[in-house]
Structure 1
Amino acid sequence: MGNDGDKGAATRRILIVDDNSDAAELLAELVRLCGYEVAVEFSGPSALRTVLGFQPHVVLLDIGMPEMDGYQVAQLLRAMPDLNGLRIIALTAWGDAEARARTAACGFNLHLTKPAPLPALLGALEAG
């Protein structure tokens, strides 16, 4: 998952995973306007299929999704040895202490609550 030492926005790939397609597409457009390469998926299984080919630097991952929640997706991503440098950021409406503890336990790097302020979101995409 190397980015050849360039951490500029133009080379960073972001995978957005959210079952709310309108919210995901709106966020994707915003992130694209900031110069990132973006892929969008609307379910955990589709995100897992996309991540290996797209090789994102960061995954913005919703928690409350049907079929496979964000906790399960994060755990499966963390089990993939080729994704050691991947940053996983929870972007969810669930902001209580229990949800935050679970995201930490499942391998998320950061927990942002929707709607995340744009400066915090963009800072999170560049961190690490």
Structure 2
Amino acid sequence: MGKLLTPRRVLIVDDNCDAADMVGALLEACGCAIMVAYGGQQALSIADDFKPDVIFLDINMPGMDGYQAATALRQRASGSTARIVALTAMNDAASRATMAAVGFDGHLAKPASLESLIGATR
């Protein structure tokens, strides 16, 4: 596939392991450094060490959902400057408004195209 991006550190957070791994593999093939977390709490632990530039974050996850994870990430040094993008099946106006209110920088509806994933990392 080749390098399509300026190298970025990207954290993908999704309780659907296959979906998270697939997005990670695609972005890694495009030149990104990737870490994957399968839940919100794990994302907090990884973000502190990884210091991502971009975080793709699912909303509907058991335990700590994406809203709670985004709020917690924004309160940490590791997530305060990262671009947080919802990557979720939730695509209604109320959900998007809540995402914006808790600190998301963008929204991609699943399934997202490679082009939209790449665009969200810039």
Instruction: Report if TM-score (shorter chain) is over 0.5.
Output: yes
Equivalent pairs, count: 119
Q: Which amino acid aligns with 1:63?
A: I
Q: Could you tell me the percent identity over the aligned residues?
A: 48
Give 1:58 shift: 0.3
Preserved CA contact (<8 Å) 1:10 1:37: no
State the Cα RMSD in Å.
Answer: 1.4
Q: 2:115 corresponds to which residue?
A: 119
Q: 1:19 corresponds to which residue?
A: 15
Give 1:78 shift: 1.0
Change (3 A) 1:82 1:66: closer
**TM-score, normalised on structure 2?**
0.92
Give 1:81 shift: 3.9
- Any runs of at least 4 consecutive aligned residues in structure 1 with deviations exceeding 2 A, and if so which? 8-11, 81-84
* Alignment equivalent of 1:54, drawn from 30, 50, 54: 50
Q: 5+ residue gaps in structure 1?
A: 1-7
Structure 1 residues 1-128: aligned runs within 5 Å: 9=5, 11-126=7-122
Give the Cα separation in 2 of the matches to 1:117 and 1:29.
Answer: 14
